[in-house]
Structure 1
Amino acid sequence: MNIAVLAGDGIGPEIIAQAVRLLDVLKAEGFDIELEYGLIGGSAVDATGEPYPEMTHQLVSRADAVLLGAVGGPQYDVLPRPQRPERGLLAIRKALNLFANLRPAILYPELAKASSLKPDVVAGLDIMIVRELTGDIYFGKPRGIEMRDGQRVGVNTMVYNEAEIQRIAHVAFRTAQKRNRRLCSVDKMNVLECTQLWRDVVEETGKAYPDVKLSHMLVDNAAMQLVRDPKQFDVIVTGNMFGDILSDEASMLTGSIGMLPSASLDSHNKGLYEPIHGSAPDIAGKNVANPLATILSVAMMMRYTFNQEDVAQHIEEAVKKVLVQGLRTSDIASQGMHVLGTREMGDAVLSAF
């Protein structure tokens, strides 16, 4: 297991450190794990002037999987757009062809009170959002800011071809087959021709999966339904921009964005694994960040890239044990809970593992 480790910026190094401790335990137990470290985002800009330097590209290209912390910080907002840390994320996704982003939104029973919704609305929540990651308006051309008739005009292009839609649809249907066999495809076909094609191709692809019940929903309605009745969903598949928004919305149903991992996969299940929260520079270096999403990202890595389902479940069970014990970081704490720091939460998970 050759794993590239990119800690990134802000709280990235702190949360990655706890995940690496878990990988070290697995290595001590006999797993053939090799870790190599590289730079991405702001830390890479500071060292090389680029958010995704060539040395990092070479590192991740030869790795089996990538474990990433977080990128970004306000000090980089003044840089030219190509140098901003977020460009490193877009670049690595494109370079490795990581087109399928899997984001689970699971509410642990112990955290029901941490959700902003009523416990009876979110209790038992278990959604998987499958987001297309290398197309759509984030990568479409033409793009940029130009002068027209004496004023600035911003241009971005939403574009998908048939093959791009087909491959993410296949991932979503196969994911649904392993769950409750229900797939909701989200688009905006009543306004956008690009997403009319999305709906048509998903419909056509679905003919190969007669055991999966396919439905469609417009993105504005989907955003509302996630708040009104989130448990109606099993698997959601959608494009890059809609998926970016809906997955963050779904994450807050679970009580904290600090609890949710993600996997970004290519066609051979090589993957980049990262928590979905940001770099949180305001709490960086204070030993208060929640490392559980990063630790759960290691579980996803074991499941999807290395086919170690038993190990993945073992990691997830360790996190559940910690929550049952009433141990919390500050972002998920409620009255009567024992609040731990980042490293102390790592200690607790390792003790339960």
Structure 2
Amino acid sequence: MAANKKLLILPGDGIGPEVMREVRRVIDWMDRRRLVTFEVSDDHVGGSAIDTYGTPITDATMQKAKDADAVLFGSVGGPKWEKLGFDMRPEIAILRLRKELDLFANLRPATVFDPLIDASTLKADVVRGLDIMIVRESTGGIYFGEPRGVETLPDGQRRGYDTETYTTSEIERVARVGFELARKRQNRVCSVEKANVMQSGLFWRQTVTALHQREFPDVELSHMYADNCAMQLVRNPRQFDVIVTSNLFGDLLSDLASMLTGSLGMLPSATLGAVQPSGKRHALYEPIHGSAPDIAGKGVANPLAQVLSFAMLLRYSFGLEEDAGLIETACVNVLKNGLRTADIMSPGTARVGTTVMGESILRELDKLAA
């Protein structure tokens, strides 16, 4: 029996608890069948934490996250908490987790599964076989830069401002993750910025280029402006292998890339910290979809992105490649069998809800492990 692996589960708001329940069933299955045991704890986060504790995330929850080997996150937010003010946004929870755990590298795969080619709004011959990894810097840039704020000018107008700022080490560490991932994939990295109009973008390009020359000359490196990258993702997405970019551009481009696959409900993500001297690495895993309050509680949400996020957790935090692959194969097999939640429906397929999709994954796991 493998040693206990300490997981913190933060379901959050909206459909978060619904899709996380299906992951818990997969975890229970692994405990029973795969000889891997997990020490699991749960807590509130986001709007749920505001309702329970009066804050989007408590210090005690943060400590649990620091003590855990990995954090599995659901989703946060919804209309219920929109009027509480900027400092009480449910999203403060995920920002604090990223910042205090120093989760600087956000990995967002955009993969088109063969059974879902028709779910994409792009032509099949454009997206067939698509497999992109977007590495987004996630603790710096304009989302965290100072100064920032809103001020009143002498003429009475108001002005809002944020600052895009990066240091050499911030750029190098996220680019290093991209290069290392590329070595295990197609060995190609595209670094994305706006070096033509932004000083920080030019600095990003220079820093990535210097790192490449020093440490990764075996990896093919190209550079692209962010606006052109957005166009190329729609025009010819298969030209990319690993894309490395800043917080803001990564936020935009990864959502764009996700829709190449047909649904936000299909895509997982990982956000990684630095490897510590002990060998431990803080990491948080979450689907890239939101809390979807319009369908929360209706039992129709797609749990696949949350389940695939757990597969990423097994791979990147625990090195359980075989188990991660087993779960991913089970998800693909369910789709091959023609089962679909509402967001990925296509002609000739059967519409199912969250629970039935989860049960179908477990049945496929049983077959694969037999």
TM range (shorter): over 0.9
Alpha-carbon distance between aligned partners in 2 of 1:310 and 1:140, rounded to the nearest angstrom: 40
Q: Which residue of 1 aligns with 2:28?
A: 24
Q: Deviations over 1:235-268 (max 9, x none)?
A: 0000000000000000000011100000001112
Please say if 1:45 is aligned against 2:50.
yes
SS at match of 1:270: strand
Q: Deviations over 1:189-221 (max 9, x none)?
A: 111101111100100111111221100000000
SS at match of 2:318: coil
Q: 2:11 aligns with which of 1, 7, 13?
A: 7
* Alignment map for 1:300-315 (pairs within 5 Å): 300-315=312-327
Q: 1:95 aligns with which of 93, 100, 103?
A: 100
Letter in 2 for 1:65: A
Q: Which residue of 1 aligns with 2:368?
A: none
Q: 1:281 aligns with which of 272, 289, 293?
A: 293
How far 1:43 sits from its partner (Å)?
0.6
Is the 1:184–1:236 Cα contact (8 Å) retained in structure 2?
yes
Letter in 1 for 2:60: M
Q: 1:81 aligns with which of 82, 86, 98?
A: 86
Q: 1:158 aligns with which of 164, 177, 184?
A: 164
Is the 2:66–2:282 Cα contact (8 Å) retained in structure 1?
no
Q: Which residue of 2 aligns with 1:148?
A: 153
Please say if 1:114 is aligned against 2:126.
no
How far 1:278 sits from its partner (Å)?
0.2
Q: Which residue of 1 aligns with 2:259?
A: 252
Aligned length: 353
Is the 1:7–1:39 Cα contact (8 Å) retained in structure 2?
yes
How far 1:61 sits from its partner (Å)?
1.0
Please say if 1:338 is aligned against 2:356.
no
Q: Which residue of 1 aligns with 2:272?
A: 265
Q: Deviations over 1:171-198 (max 9, x none)?
A: 0000100000010000001111011111
How far 1:99 sits from its partner (Å)?
0.4
Alpha-carbon distance between aligned partners in 1 of 2:260 and 2:145, rounded to the nearest angstrom: 31
How far 1:291 sits from its partner (Å)?
0.2
Is the 1:49–1:83 Cα contact (8 Å) retained in structure 2?
no
Q: 1:236 aligns with which of 214, 234, 243?
A: 243
Moved >6 Å (runs of 4+):
none
Q: Which residue of 2 aligns with 1:295?
A: 307
Q: Which moved more, 1:204-213 or 1:175-184?
A: 204-213
How far 1:145 sits from its partner (Å)?
1.0
SS at match of 1:7: strand
Alpha-carbon distance between aligned partners in 1 of 2:163 and 2:83, rounded to the nearest angstrom: 24
How far 1:31 sits from its partner (Å)?
1.2
Alpha-carbon distance between aligned partners in 1 of 2:149 and 2:50, rounded to the nearest angstrom: 22
Q: Which residue of 2 aligns with 1:199?
A: 205
How far 1:270 sits from its partner (Å)?
2.6
SS at match of 2:110: strand
TM-score w.r.t. length of structure 2: 0.94
Q: Which moved more, 1:279-288 or 1:55-64?
A: 55-64
Structure 2 spans left out of the alignment, 5+ residues? 276-280, 366-370
Letter in 2 for 1:223: A
Letter in 2 for 1:109: D
Letter in 2 for 1:351: R
Q: Deviations over 1:74-119 (max 9, x none)?
A: 1211111110011111111001110010000000111111001011
Structure 1 spans left out of the alignment, 5+ residues? none
Alpha-carbon distance between aligned partners in 1 of 2:198 and 2:356, rounded to the nearest angstrom: 49
Alpha-carbon distance between aligned partners in 2 of 1:151 and 1:88, rounded to the nearest angstrom: 32
